[in-house]
């Protein structure tokens, strides 16, 4: 019913398409290298607050613990503490 192409190698048209993508990507990079490299420091500075906003989702909101007296630190070892 549905005809599948069992050939593991891509067709000639696909190789030509990949070639055009590679050439186009190279030309875009060489022509716009100054623009991309000039904005790169600003992208690093912008990444800092974005990473803080999006990567701290597992910590919960700052100061919003469900039980005020129970604050656990995952990095502290429980060895040597009296039970």
Would 22 be classed as within a structural domain? yes
In a domain, 70, yes or no: no
For residue 36, what are the contacts with CB-CB under 8 A and spacing of at least 6?
Answer: 29
Residue 14 CB-density burial (10 A; 0-12 exposed, 13-18 middle, 19+ buried): exposed
Give domain status of residue 19, yes or no.
Answer: yes
**Owning domain of residue 47:** 12-52
Q: How many domains does the chain have?
A: 1
Tell me the C-alpha distance between 73 and 60, whole Å: 14
Within a domain: residue 41? yes
Q: How does pLDDT run along the chain (83 residues), one tens digit per residue?
A: 555 666 666 688 999 999 999 999 999 989 988 888 888 899 889 999 888 888 877 665 555 555 555 555 555 555 655 65
Q: CA neighbours within 13 Å on the CB side: how many for 76?
A: 6
Domain contains 42 = yes
- Stretch (H or E) spanning 20: helix 12-31
């Amino acid at each position: 019913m549905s005809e599948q192409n069992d050939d593991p190698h891509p067709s000639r048209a696909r190789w030509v398409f990949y070639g055009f993508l590679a050439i186009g990507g190279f030309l875009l990079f060489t022509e716009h290298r100054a623009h991309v490299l000039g904005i790169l420091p600003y992208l690093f500075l912008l990444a800092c607050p974005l990473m803080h906003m999006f990567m701290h989702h597992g910590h919960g909101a700052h100061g919003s613990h469900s039980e005020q007296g129970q604050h656990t630190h995952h990095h502290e070892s429980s060895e040597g503490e009296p039970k």
